[in-house]
Amino acid sequence: MSSPRSTSSPPSAASGSHPVSSPVALAALVVANLVPLVGVVWFDWSLKALLVAYWLESGVVGLLNVPKILAASGRGGGGASINATVNGRRVDLSPPESPRDGFHLYPSNVPIAGFFAMHYGIFWVVHGVFVWSFDAFAPGAGAVGGVSGVPLGAVLLAASATLLSHGGSFAVNFVGREEYRSVSPGKQMSEPYRRVIVLHLTIILGAFLVAASGAPAAALVVMVVVKTALDAGAHLREHARAEKRADRDGGSAGERIEVGDASA
């Protein structure tokens, strides 16, 4: 690993005098999560329709993380220098040496943003293959809730609500509260995985339970409510970590990220 080099960054936004997340952003997240609930209760959405909507949501989360990585200018958990080995090649993924005032996208962060887009994209595509072929794993799942197949127009509406919710949180929390000042590109790369993987493993487990349930409509409602609670909790934890980073004094120890071959 190369020797750590010191970097200077503008002071982070003051914290501690406000909630960890904007109440408006949190409310928008809950409202976006209620769109599938409306679909289940009033429009007989199928289990598969829910899975497709949640799959599209994970795509929105990954998409919005790319500009977050590009704008990250802090030292994360105390690492002044970050190096990674990507497919056997060492790549310098350190934060910008001279962060500028305000929100900016840094060309030096492009390598890690590109790697994230490739790696997360593979995860998202594999997840989608499973979702669209869920009937093969749980026969009849596409008809649970009374509708055969997926109402694409309604599901895209739910995805649009998700985009507005996460986009609003990006504008209010990441940009408005200047979370980009305290997070490194490497730390920001890991944030979606912490949120999405646990959440969607829970959803997949719930989907199998719903498919085996004798009361699918009620089970779908429970599934949506549980997912909403988990999503809100993950949202608050994510921004609590951002606030702790802003409050913590940056150390000088380097951080190393080892990345395996994505094609393996």
Q: pLDDT tens for residues 70-109?
A: 999 887 554 445 556 655 656 556 666 666 777 889 988 8
Percentage of the chain surpassing pLDDT 90? 14
Task: Give CA–CA dist 170/64, Å, rounded.
Answer: 8
- Name the residue among 227, 202, 237, 188 with its Cα closest to residue 82: 188
Residue 255 pLDDT greater than 60, yes or no: no
- Name the residue among 152, 164, 166, 68 with its Cα closest to residue 109: 68
| pLDDT digit string, tens, across residues 188-244 | 888 888 778 877 788 888 888 887 776 677 888 888 888 888 888 888 888 888 788
Torsion of CA 26, 31, 32, 33, to 10 degrees: 90
In the predicted model, what is the mean pLDDT of the chain? 75
pLDDT of 138: 62
3-class secondary structure, 238: helix
Q: Provide the CB-side half-sphere exposure for 136 (13 A, CA).
A: 5
How sure is the predictor about 68, in pLDDT bands with cuts at 50, 70 and 90? very high
- Name the residue among 14, 30, 3 with its Cα closest to residue 228: 30
Rounded to 5 degrees, what angle do the CA atoms 68, 70, 76 make?
70
Task: Give CA–CA dist 210/223, Å, rounded.
Answer: 8
- The structure tokens listed for 150 are 């997926």
Ordered strands of the 89-92 beta sheet? 89-92, 82-86, 255-259
Task: Give CA–CA dist 30/189, Å, rounded.
Answer: 24
Predicted TM-score of the model (pTM): 0.76
pLDDT of 22: 74
Give the pairing of strands 89-92 and 82-86.
antiparallel
pLDDT of 66: 96
Better-predicted residue by pLDDT, 251 or 225: 225
pLDDT of 75: 73
Better-predicted residue by pLDDT, 256 or 224: 224
- The structure tokens listed for 167 are 């986009």
For the chain, the structural domain boundaries read: 34-243
- Name the residue among 181, 230, 186, 180 with its Cα closest to residue 204: 230
- Name the residue among 155, 154, 177, 242 with its Cα closest to residue 24: 177
